[in-house]
Every structure is written in C-alpha cells, then in structure tokens.
Structure 1
Amino acid sequence: MKNNILALLLLILPSIAEAQLLSKDQYKHYIDRFNENDYELYRLGEYTNEKAWDFLAENIPFFNCPDKQLEETYYFRWWTYRKHIRKTPKGYIITEFLPDVSWAGLYNSICCPAAHHFMEGRWLKDPKYLKDYARFWFNGKSSPRAYSFWSADAIANFCKVHPDDPLLEELFPLLEKNYEAWEKDKLHENGLFWQYDNRDGMEVSISGSYAEPYGHGYRATINSYMYADARALERLAKKMGESQKETLYRQKAEKIKQNINTRLWDSNAEFFKVIPLGRNMSFSDIREQHGFTPWYFNIPPDSYSVAWKYLMDTNHFFAPYGITTAEQCHPKFIIAYEGHECRWDGPVWPFSTSVTLTALANLLNNYKQEYISKRDYWTLLSQYSHSHRIHFDSSKSVPWIDENINPYTGDWISRTRLKNDFETSWPKNKGGEERGKDYNHSTFNDLIITGLIGVRPSDDNILTINPLIPDQTWEYFCLDDLLYKGKKISICYDRTGKYYNLGSGFFIFIDGKRVHHSDNLAKVIINLESI
C-alpha cells in the first residue's frame, strides 16, 4: 500500500522528464578555452583535444555554482582527466604522467595515484574505462605493489557507483593474492605494516629522514590502506557467500584498526605519527599531513578528532596556497629549491590534499566533534581550486595542475626546478619537457560531488545526500546528470527560485522525477528501490 501511494505521489510531483536542468552547451566555452590555451605536447591518450568536448558532454555530470573559479576548476579537472585515458593492448588504463617516464610500469602505468583515478573516474557515465583499468592491475604483468595502493577498496568504491558483481567475482581471488603478497612483504610480526616513504609516494619526508638512508617505518598510510582492503575483501566475501573468508578478513581488519589506534597514535601530540624503523618503537617528532589518512577510511574513534584542530592552524598545516605536508613549526620544515625536486618535507601536494579533504568530509559526515566545520571544508576546497593556476607572465594566468606547490607563493616547485636547473633543455631522464603538466595524481571533482554537494555512495540501494556547503554561502547550485547505480540524479538549490525556475529551495530529481524538496539544504536519505 505504501509503495502504491509513493508511486502515485511521484506521478503528480513536478518532473523534468528527460530534460537537463543545465544546458551542456553553456559550459562548452570552458573546454574551448582550455583547448585554445593548450599546446598539447603529448597526444598519447584516446581522447585528444579535438575530441574533448564530445567525450565530456557524453560522460561527465555538469556542475553550476556562483563561484566561477570553482566551476572552472571542475571542468578543467575533467578536461585533464580524459587526457590520461590511454588505450592499450590490455584495454584502457589511466596514466599519472602524460609523457612516458622511466620509472613507470607497463604502458606508462604507475599505481601510486591509481586509487585516486578510481575515485575520480567513477563519476564518468561509461564504466568501461575503469573496468579495464581494474583488470589491468591484476593481469600478471602490471605492478600493483610498486607503490602503496588501496586497490580492493578503490575498486569496491567504483562499483558503488557502477554496480558490477561479475567484475568483483572475477577480481576477488586476484585481490586476495595481492593482499597476501602485501602481508608477505610488508607485515611485521608485531602486526604493523611498514613502508618506505618514497614507496608511499612521499619521498624526502621529515619522518623518513630519521630512518636514513631508506626512510622506512610503520606508517598510518600503509596500515590504513591495508585495513581498507581487508574491509573491502570482507564485504566481497559476504556478497559471494563465503562466510569463512568474510570472518577472516573482518578479523584482519579489526586487528589492523586496533594497531593503528593504539600503536600509531601519539597521545601527547594528539596525532597519528610514523615510527621509523630502528628507533626502538619511538615516534618521530613531527606531525605530517598523512596523519589525517585514517579518517579517509573512518578508522579512528571520535575522541581522536582532536587532531583536526591542527589543520587550520598556520603554525601547523594551513598556508596561503594549501595544506603543507609537514607542520610548519618543525625545525626541519623547508620549502627547498635544491636537492630532490619532489620533496615532502613542506610543500603542498594535491595527492595529500585529496586524501585530507576526503577524510575531512568523512569526519563531518560520520563523527561527533567540534574542532572543525563545514566552513573550514569550504575554505580548503576553495583554496585548492585557486591553487590550480600558473602565471606565464604578468598578464597571462591559466588553469594548471602539476606536482608540488610552494605553500606561500603558489609556484609549482618541481616544474620551476626542472625548467630552470638544466640550462640546455628539460632533462629526459626525469620525464622530459613539462612532465608534470596536467598531472593526474589527485582528485578534485570527487571532492565536489561527494563532499561539497554531498553524494555519499553506498553498497546498497540507498542514496544519501548531505551537502557540506555552509549556510548563506551560495544563492544557487546544481549538479546535473549524475549517473549513480544506473539512475540519473540531479541536485539543485535555488534560494529565490529565480535561477532554475523550479521554485525556491533544495531539490533532488531521480530519472526526471522530483523525489525531494525542502526549503533549506538538509541531509536526505532515499531508498532507490522505492523510486
């Protein structure tokens, strides 16, 4: 009876049918401008610039808001992401660098940012690219453990958006073998996983300097990733009816979680820290940004939320152009233009910004705490957007994403180093000309979709939307044509009702039918089976 009433109500509620809330052509000017400003050094991807608009128009959700800098960055990051879709004899993969680099694996693949590739790319309508990419990592010739990579968790998160049980069943035994290999290589008898800082993708770190020359230690990063993969394998085992394996992976995950929370948490510093190997299990004396990683996977208890008071503190992590990788009050903190060009002892790295902001969205959604707010999330995301620039001269500034950022000037450090330190030409052994241009090492649009707009993917048929936009910040916004579990989702807010001509308030449409309206932004939970 209840379902019949709901069906009747949906028939009489206002509908947008199959029409778009947003006209896609109104956003083509962004792509045209990006193409115009681009000298397209590398044309190795499947979708070169002349194909960019057609590909994006068919595949991305469209976004509109009053902050045109943020809006531009949203389309810029989709424009750069599609450059990295490369077709190979093994199917589609996603690359980190556009030029081929000597330290990459098969077809220029690098697993270090691969989880970010899955998190960002899951919002493309066509799932074939990431299905191929998931298979690629476990084809026997790839290198899924060359760097830390939370592969099972990332693939499971992709399948929350594009459900695919046959793919998960196919990959399950391969993901198990991958997990076992990690345990064999990096699990100590004390129950903690260890990793080199550079194999975490975080070379020349301050904590790593205490374990020279290798920079290895028990790190919250690798332990959090292994927890996440164990949880993902637990859920996959349950889905497949393998109760013994479900129990096995649940127990593994619980043990790792306990070790993270009891052995990697420095209660005096109120932070997760590295224990460098060879230091008699003593903590390093530095808070580093990757100490926020456990919240990316909802590992810590509520009481540990005190760590977040350091994020917006200018003595610690907050700087004009982003979140520093090491706290600024430490004597070894440095912004250096010498030595290795990719240092993690101070500069801002979009890779870590992505992790921290995903973790912060989890904190704001799932924890009880008073240390940090939606306003802070908004500030950091806006700051991250503004960092996507480069100034070629006093008059020309264009959108840009590269490697590491000077937190005080916004300069792309490795680019400056590689361009200026070699008088004759860009060094080929380091990737050649503009190796970091359009660098695909982080997320941005996933932060807009799952954080700011608040689409929270789940394993079941529940759609949760919980916007993190602070009150009285925007007059309007719209995320349109988002594909989630095969359904078209449109989310919009219009304070006056004059912008989208739907009336005032907060609206959610599914497959063209209005399923929610409220005067103000609010958390909404929708059972898709009832739609």
Structure 2
Amino acid sequence: MAALVSAIVIIFSVLAYTVLARTQPVQYHRRDGVKGTSFLDHEDPISGFLGRTFLRDNIPYLDIPDKLIQDVFYYRWTSLQRNLRYVTAGTGYMCTEFVHPVGYAKAFGTIDAAAGHQIDEARWLRDTAYADDYIRLYTRGPADPLQYTQWILDAMSRRAMVTGDSEFLATQLDDMVRVWHLWDPFFDSDAGLYYYQPVWDAQELSLPGFIADPNNKDWDLRKDGPDTFRPSHNAYMVANARAIARAAEISHDGLVQSQFLNIADDLEAAMYERLWAPEQEFFVRKF
C-alpha cells in the first residue's frame, strides 16, 4: 500500500511539474540588461510581415478578442518600421512621413508635422536609439522644427515617462529652449498668442482661406490661408512649454522651470480669453 501511495505521489509530482513548466512565462533580456516577461506568442502575430527581427526585438505584443483591432495594432508597428531610415554615421536614425520621398521634405527627408506622432509611437520601442536619434535631429539640427506647427517637445517629455530615461530629457533642456524661441517671430504680444498660416498648421484649404478669398480669385490665399491665431498651434505651444518646465525640473533649474510654467499658464489663459467660443463650447481660430 505504501508503495502504491509513493508511486501516485511521484506520478502527480511529474505531471504537476510538466504543467507548470509549460505555463511558465518565457523570459527575455532587454538590451539594457533589464529582464522582462512575455506570456504571448511572439511569432504568429508578425508572421505575415517583413522585418520580423525588428518587430520581435522592439515592439509590445497584444492579444485581444477583436482580431481586426489586433491586426491593425501590428500593422501600425510595421508602418513605423518602414518609415525609419538610417541617414549617416553620427546622426543615426530618422523617421519619414512618407515611404516615398516628397519634394517639400527638409534635411534627410524630415517633415516635422508628423514628428510628434512618430515620437509618441516610437516611445514604446525597446531600443531607444531610434527615437533618441530622431529627437536630436530636431533639437540639435539639421531638421527644421519650424516648417509646420508641432508638439515635439511635449512628445519628448511624455516619452521619458514611458522609457524612464529622464536623464536624456534633461540633457536636451538647452536645445528645447532654443527650439521654443524659434517661434518668437510668430508671437503677437498684444494678443498673447502665436499665429501661423493654416497650411503650415497642416490644415490647408481651411475656413480662413475661404473667408479671406470668398470669390476664389487668389488660389494661394485660398489654399494656404491668411495668418490666424490657431487653437491647435497655441495648444501645442502650451504643451511644449510645460515639457520644457518638466525638463528643467529634472535638471534642477528652478529659474527655467518657473519661467516656462508661467509662459504656459499665460498662453493658456490667452486662449480662453480670445479663442474660446462659449456658444460652441469650443475653441475657434481668429484673424
């Protein structure tokens, strides 16, 4: 009887070990040496895409009941991957807005209108070098952060919250301030707001162009629009100012932190004073 009980115990132990071993999460090691845990199949969701090595090494994985959303999730990562470009030694990577180059792109094919979106997505990549390089193209050149309105500095700040690399954000402080002041010529001190043409706010053929050219006699004016105080642009600038303040806080630069918190508060107050339409309960652009 004792032998039978011992045999049953041994068999149960073997079965339990086998089940537990199969259900233990797969361990992987990030490039920075931090151990992570993966419970999901990392091969099947990316099996239909090219560049699987990049995807396997870098992206977060998702497993949800809605297959369409899940497929779109993985497709978005392949879209980001297709737009990453290695440019030159010492400069590293950038991200294009279009897979096929366009004539109005700036240095190395950069277009800053999409940069905030791209940094927002790239913040989830395990290898931080891609976004580090891309950010420096704007903060230190030669990419043009003035071509379109943008929230690059804000995206940098929120990225640091994901990566945990506050030091990288802090090292960019002086350059963030420099990028901010590039917009000084487009600030109206009387209104307390920034202005720009709709086309360079990525909103060509918008309402101001039709108001300024009601008879359709000036196609450039109709398409590009006149200078206006734009809620989108000014909201970006509020967010960018708060991002500089956060970088200054990390750098223990209380003077710059206080300065840009005040700038953000004043700009936001001006938006509510001049751009808020109570009857619409929304912000409107104004000439």
Q: Shorter-normalised TM-score: what interval?
A: 0.7 to 0.9
Instruction: Judge which range, 72-81 or 202-211, deviates more.
Output: 202-211
Q: For 1:96, what is the secondary structure of its paired residue?
A: coil
The higher-RCO structure (CA 8 Å, 6+ apart) is 1
Q: Deviations over 1:58-87 (max 9, x none)?
A: 111111111111111111111111001100
State the match for 2:206 in structure 1. 205
1:76 equivalent in structure 2:
75
**How far has the Cα of 1:183 moved from its partner?**
2.2
Contact 2:46 2:55 (8 Å CA) reproduced: no
- Given candidates 266, 273, 276, the residue that maps to 1:262 is 273
Q: Indicate the residue corresponding to 2:250 in structure 1.
A: 239
1:369-425, Cα deviation, whole Å (9 max, x unpaired): xxxxxxxxxxxxxxxxxxxxxxxxxxxxxxxxxxxxxxxxxxxxxxxxxxxxxxxxx
Verify the 8 A CA contact 2:194 2:230 in the aligned structure 1: yes
The match for 1:63 is 62
In structure 2, C-alpha distance between the alignment counterparts of 1:141 and 1:30, rounded to whole Å: 36
Task: State the partner residue of 2:261.
Answer: 250
Report how far residue 127 of structure 1 moved.
0.6
Q: Deviations over 1:89-118 (max 9, x none)?
A: 121001101112110001111000100001
What secondary structure sits across from 2:85 in the alignment?
A: strand
- Quote the residue 2:129 is aligned against: 128
Q: What is residue 143 of structure 1 aligned with on the other side?
A: 144
Encode CA deviations 1:34-69: one digit per residue, 9 max, x unaligned: xxxxxxxxxxxxxxx3xx111101111111111111
> CA distance change for structure 1 residues 267 and 107 in 2, over 3 Å: closer, same or farther?
same
Q: Could you tell me how far apart the structure 2 residues matched to 1:28 and 1:86 are?
A: 21
Q: Which amino acid aligns with 1:58?
A: D
Q: Which runs of 5+ in 1 are unaligned?
A: 1-13, 32-48, 278-531
1:22 corresponds, among 40, 65, 69, to 40
Matches within 5 A, 1:314-393: none
- Does the 8 Å CA contact 2:157/2:243 hold for their aligned counterparts? yes
Could you say what secondary structure the match of 1:87 adopts? Answer: strand
Identity of aligned residues (%): 27
* Aligned CA distance change for structure 1 residues 211 and 170 (closer, same or farther; 3 Å): farther
Which blocks of at least 5 consecutive residues in structure 2 are unaligned? 1-22, 28-36, 214-220
CA contact (8 A) 1:237 1:245 kept: yes
Contact preservation (8 Å) 1:209, 1:215: no
Aligned to 2:157: 156
Preserved contact between residue 208 and residue 216 of structure 1 (Cα < 8 Å):
no
Give the corresponding residue for 2:8. Answer: none
* Structure 1 residue corresponding to 2:231, chosen from 202, 217, 220: 220
Residue type at the aligned position of 1:256: L
Contact 1:211 1:217 survives alignment (8 Å): no
Q: 1:183 to 1:202 in 2, by over 3 A?
A: same
3-state secondary structure, aligned to 1:92: strand
Offset at residue 188 of structure 1 (A): 4.0
Kindly report structure 1 stretches of 4+ aligned residues shifted beyond 3 Å: 14-17
| Aligned-pair CA distance for 1:186 | 3.6
Conserved in 2, the CA contact under 8 Å of 1:265 and 1:272? yes
Secondary structure of residue in 2 paired with 1:241: coil
Q: Which moved more, 1:100-109 or 1:213-222?
A: 213-222
Task: Judging by fraction of residues, say which structure has more helix.
Answer: 2
- What's the offset of the Cα at 1:25? 1.7
Report the Cα offset of residue 143 of structure 1. 0.6
Structure 2 Cα separation of the partners of residues 29 and 102 of structure 1: 34
SS state of the match for residue 113, structure 2? Answer: coil
Q: Does the 8 A contact of 2:26 with 2:39 survive in 1?
A: no
Q: Deviations over 1:118-168 (max 9, x none)?
A: 111111111100000011113332211110011211111111111334422
Distance (Å, rounded) in 2 between the aligned partners of 1:141 and 1:102: 17
Partners of 1:241 and 1:122 lie apart in 2 by 24
Do the aligned residues in 1 keep the contact of 2:191 with 2:270 (CA within 8 Å)?
A: no
Name the SS of the counterpart of 1:112 in structure 2. helix
- Flag the 1:15–1:53 CA change in 2: closer, same or farther, 3 A: closer
